[in-house]
Structure 1
């Protein structure tokens, strides 16, 4: 109850006032935190697990890595005790209870992968310990079910979001985990190609009108925050997959042959898109920055979303710093200028600390990119 009220006071026009009440929200969140030890040491409770996930969302919106990591580890521990990720002994539950348990499990799974990606922490939930299948139906909540133009029935954004979370976990494990740091470069190249192929297959599995970069997706309000988050996540995955290659300045097969210590293996180049990593990261960054016009207004959604344009802005600035003489960087520099102007004008009409941090980050990245371009003249 305290966690839910903490969320309510963070929302604008919450019934008590027109503006979020951060002080009351924090006091209620502190009250909720006092129950964490009891939840961890006591008998596993599904309602308590849901409360923990709400607290995880609040701390993630504040970019608080340590509380997020601690709370999600407690949540996954309780989820395992309840057997939510397995198919054993589920016959004793009603269909409604099965649906609820499945929804809570996959929400915890997605948050675990989100925290892992954002803060560079290993995920808590082990994929090998999961026997539950991906959800086929959306939870009993209208925000996840969307009517489609090219398919009968509705599109379950929840199932697609869970599949994308699985891909994110694989990206971290194969490219950014401790075990991946010492892998030979040709293995990294092969992994990048395979992960890119999986991500494109995920994109192609969506109805055409809901796919990232669809020209008509957000033209008619209201904007779906679920789809907005999925699109940001897709572009973020593209950046994460291809950045390891782009950072090495590889843009052609000739660059690969010139790479010190690199031996060409056929499977390393099975996906030719690995030779386009630099342009693909920049394209994904520009697309993510383009979604900033749909930034949510409330502090919680904004806090959750601003991670994505921050990564995109840094990626675009890094591309300029690495290769400032490339004529294409003039366009990227213009995108950074426009982003800073847009964010500055938006920030003037909001009290959100998250927006102010985003504006500051954008200004810093743009300044670094501008300096690199001036020095190369």
Structure 2
């Protein structure tokens, strides 16, 4: 029997238009829509010999298959989750929150309906909700063009197409995802609209791409990344970016023929995709798709003419460019991945890693500093504005995640939680233990964790999208506070921190009830152990009385003790101006040296020269210093202080270019290997003295002939050179002996050259490249930098020939100026014998 002509399922209309036919009888939905007869008479096209797909098509098909597999797996997990949830008690009121949005994963078996939409007035209502909420901070669509498309859909049915239909469904999904069920019209769930948009996803990806298609897929990623499983979002974001690349959204030249408004919309769509790419990369620890080097478009405008991306407080007295700030944070997220999570050889180098840690902490600090106080975490907590709190709750969550990844102190960090458990067990079993090494930036992390927990708690209505995007950060912040209490149970905020930790633990329990994921259960078990093992009577081996008065284990000459800069020593205070001064800094490539260069630049120094051994560090340092003040002339010279010829040549080159030296900061040094005197390696001892003693000697020899009239020398020493040996800090005799010897040499240099103003300082307890393993008592690297700017000012002339700690309060020292200047206060002598 010959085969029948009707071997296809699509009717003639659907077949010719190449759209999916739903097979409804007597007429399918599209035939009803186009007022056509539903027939099957058209001759089928002859099947052409299939060509091998080109690279782009093959890649897209492969990504589609991968996405469909991920979506199918997600759909199956959702069905299992729903079955478990239906068995739970209805008294668990919060369960519906996570459950509703869990099922927002679209599956391949989505609704097989025609291109129908709700009535026009209902769709316009939803679109306006979207434009007034999500689109105001992340401008995915041009408002007028979106509204025009919606109206055209209803007013000119013959122009309808799947791309517009999918885009409208995505917009409605975004509009209604934060609205409680009882306030939505029937069947207006995110799942309902998302499933409809996903049903034509293959047509969108494999058809002729347009900006609208990219916007649709980016909108889908926005929805999918706010779920418990990031696989679908991870599979879809590469497709969105590939389509964007095909349209040239990442290049300036591709928009040259377009209007300014069209170019602006394209740029904004790309930057939102960029944000999603970097954010998903951070959360999944997978490499980002978009290369930074391939982007040639400008960052979003700081002052957009249409106000898109801007947020204002109630009285419009303060504004904040949320969109620009989020793009800038995404850029930092990419650098965090590259420095901390990538497998590149550079990321594994210990010195490179230390530099990267310091650099990224500074980037995060600078980003945070640009946010007006009215939008700070504390202000957002008090605002009572739910929409504002939700937006900044997600923003600050991303920032805190960056900080915790840099500190390697995230709840999902493989090694961190076990190390905390091990410490807790030893604390209980042995009583006296050494606290584990705390990462650089620990105190900032603890402070920001407190602030974030308060923001999270302040948000009463936490929709599922918000929870899945921020819950991990919230719980990590609470674990961080738990660890801080474990390390230092006497600190002044331990009780209030306990009050923040308790609801977070309950929150995790509730999440496990709703989504019993293995990783959440493991975290809960480990965290419970930490809380139960919190020592009450443990005496720690390092600075055990840290919380008594000052936050350190040391006595203070002043009543006030500082761990970070404060207004009185701010380099921007007019009285501390370094205008007209030439500043030279040894060891200026990293750490305290670099921070001091930045501080003097902020104080308006005429020139700053940094000396060091490693060229790449010097180049980085010069860029950072120059950025602090473009008016300051900044240069570097390579030089080794252990070799007189090297350091002398470097200083002469500097003076030839800049003039004689007004302020000389002798900062370079090293931390020798620790160990007892008996059995210590002589070569190690000699190496330490070569740099810490002979290096200072060579520096002073090279400096004196090049000193300007009234020049000042600040020697960055260490308190270890004058305090008695402590059991808490064993094995550091080599470093202590070197610092003591160098200080006494500087003391004699000052005595022999009264025309030179010399001061020695203890810079604080700071984790830098030479001592990255400090475990407690971190001071910020900016503290000694700002303190030295003050020491170089006329206000501090009374400290000539003295030794001071950067932690001491400068204003209180100034009040004691006459007594300090006229007595042997702040000089190193034999205790009990005034000689």
TM-score (norm 2): 0.37
Q: Deviations over 1:3-54 (max 9, x none)?
A: 334345544346xx44798995435423322333333322221111111122
SS of residue paired to 1:216: helix
1:107-126 alignment runs, 5 A limit = 107-126=272-291
**Structure 1 counterpart of 2:449:** 285
> Are 1:2 and 1:29, in contact at CA under 8 Å, matched by a contact in 2?
yes
Matched, 1:12 2:179: yes
SS in 1 for 2:320: strand
Please give the secondary structure, in 2, of the residue aligned with 1:124: coil
Number of equivalences: 344
Post-superposition offset of 1:147: 5.7
For residues 62 and 84 of structure 1, what CA distance do their matches in structure 2 show? 27
What do residues 58-102 of structure 1 show as CA deviations (whole Å, max 9, x unaligned)?
221112221011110111111111111111132221122112111
Alpha-carbon distance between aligned partners in 1 of 2:443 and 2:292, rounded to the nearest angstrom: 32
Partners of 1:173 and 1:314 in 2: CA distance: 25
1:327 aligns with 2:490: yes
The answer to whether the aligner puts 1:369 opposite 2:533 as a matched pair is: no
- 2:207 pairs with 18, 21, 42, which one? 42
Counterpart residue number, 2:169: 2
Contact 1:69–1:115 under 8 Å retained in 2: yes
Inter-CA distance 100–221: structure 2 relative to 1 (3 Å threshold): same
Residues of 1 paired with 2:407 and 2:271: CA distance? 27
User: Are the counterparts in 1 of residues 312 and 320 from structure 2 also a CA contact under 8 Å?
Assistant: yes
- Cα distance in 2 for partners of 1:61, 1:209 equals 27
Which secondary structure does the structure 2 equivalent of 1:373 belong to?
coil
Q: CA deviation at 1:143?
A: 6.1
CA contact under 8 A between 1:299 and 1:354: conserved in structure 2? no
Distance 1:307 1:139 in 2: 37
Out of 295, 298, 316, the position equivalent to 1:130 is 295
Match of 2:683 in 1: none
Contact 2:299–2:324 (8 Å) recurs in 1: yes
How far did 1:164 drift?
0.9
- Structure-2 separation of matches of 1:291 and 1:180: 38
Pick which of 20-29 and 32-41 moved more.
20-29
Q: Distance in 1 between matches of 2:508 and 2:472?
A: 17
Alignment of 1:47-58 (within 5 A): 47-58=212-223
Residue aligned with 2:255, SS: coil
Instruction: Establish whether residue 220 from structure 1 lines up as the match of residue 383 from structure 2.
Output: yes
Corresponding position of 2:320: 155
Deviates more, 1:182-191 or 1:196-205: 182-191
Structure of greater Rg: 2
Give deviations 1:228-287, integer Å, cap 9, x for gaps. Answer: 3222222222222222799599xxxxx9xx99xxxxxxxxxxxxxx97433333223222
What is the 5 A alignment of 1:338-349?
A: 338-340=503-505, 343=507
Partner of 2:370: 205
Who is 1:103 aligned against? 268
- Checking the alignment, whether the CA contact within 8 Å between 2:408 and 2:439 is kept in structure 1 is no
1:262 equivalent in structure 2: none
CA contact (8 A) 2:214 2:240 kept: yes
In 2 relative to 1, CA 230–64 (structure 1 residues): closer, same or farther, beyond 3 Å? same
CA distance in 2, matches of 1:226, 1:8: 14
CA distance in 2, matches of 1:82, 1:48: 11
CA distance in 1, matches of 2:360, 2:262: 35
Aligned equivalent of 2:339, options 162, 174, 192: 174
Equivalent-residue separation in structure 1 for 2:439 and 2:502 (angstroms): 28
- Residues 1:71 and 2:236 aligned together: yes
Task: Determine the structure 1 residue equivalent to 2:311.
Answer: 145
Once the two structures are superposed, what CA deviation does each residue of 1:133-190 show, in whole Å capped at 9, x if it has no partner?
A: 21014595666332699x9984311111111110111011111112268612222111
Distance 1:139 1:124 in 2: 31
Residues 358 and 314 of structure 1: is their aligned pair in 2 closer, same or farther, counting only changes over 3 Å?
farther
Q: Does 1:303 align with 2:494?
A: no
* Correspondence for 1:29: 194
Q: Take 1:216 and 1:140, find their aligned partners in 2: how far apart are those partners? A: 26
Q: Secondary structure at the residue paired with 1:86?
A: coil
Question: Quick one: structure 1 residues 111 and 344, their matched pair in 2 at CA, closer, same or farther if it must change by over 3 Å?
Answer: closer
In structure 2, do the counterparts of structure 1 residues 209 and 126 end up closer, same or farther at CA, with 3 Å as the change threshold? same
Give me the whole-angstrom Cα distance separating, in 1, the residues matched to 2:363 and 2:208.
Answer: 39
CA–CA distance in 2 between the matches of 1:20 and 1:310? Answer: 34
Aligned equivalents of 1:197, 1:24: Cα separation in 2: 43
The Cα shift of 1:313 comes to: 2.9
In terms of fraction of residues, the more helix-rich structure is 1
Quickly say closer, same or farther: Cα 1:361–1:309, change in 2 above 3 A: farther
Alignment-derived partner of residue 196 in structure 1: 361
Q: Is the partner of 1:132 in helix, strand or coil?
A: coil
- Contact kept in structure 1, 2:224 and 2:232, CA below 8 Å: yes
SS at match of 1:98: helix
Structure possessing the higher relative contact order (Cα contacts under 8 Å, 6 or more residues apart): 1
Gap change, CA 1:338 and 1:5, over 3 Å in 2: closer
Summarize the Cα distance change of 1:102–1:18 in structure 2 as closer, same or farther, 3 Å threshold. same
Please, which runs of 5 or more residues in structure 2 have no aligned partner?
1-167, 421-433, 539-835
Does structure 1 retain, via aligned residues, the 8 Å contact 2:309–2:321?
no
SS at match of 1:240: helix
Please say if 1:183 is aligned against 2:340. Answer: no
Partner of 1:86: 251
Q: Helix, strand or coil for the counterpart of 2:299?
A: coil
Q: List alignment gaps of at least 5 residues for structure 1.
A: 250-254, 260-273
In structure 1, distance between residues paired with 2:240 and 2:191:
20
2:415 is aligned with 1:233: no
